[in-house]
Amino acid sequence: MLRDYSQFPDDENGGVLWGMDQDGDDLEIPREMDFSVIFPSEDGALKFATQLLRGGQKVSFAPYEGNAELPWQVQAHPFMVPTYENITGYEEELARAATLFGGRNDGWGCVSQCAMPE
């Protein structure tokens, strides 16, 4: 199958979604997504998490060992259809909000959803 670059653009998010599609994930099924944002201070991470909570978002918070300069992680867990537009738009919103607290995006993931055979 040829890659549809209008649905799966030639960048990191497009490549991940294309791989998910090729692995049989039904990208039309909504699911909980996990967006990671990392911070230099616990205080900044907690303030960011509180802001998301006040906005009605589900979040998790933990120390992060993957980056010594950014040792705190907040994950936002929105429920959405994993389209390129949804993912990229949500990452942009997170980045704008996280910058105020010294944070930056650190990727996203989700559990694969396969369509049930009829």
pLDDT in tens, 55-107: 999 999 999 999 999 999 999 999 999 999 999 999 999 999 999 999 999 99
- As a residue count, the chain comes to 118
Give the per-residue pLDDT at 15: 97
Q: Tell me which residue of 54, 53, 92, 96 sits closest to 75, measured CA to CA.
A: 53
Q: Tell me which residue of 35, 32, 23, 33 sits closest to 115, measured CA to CA.
A: 23
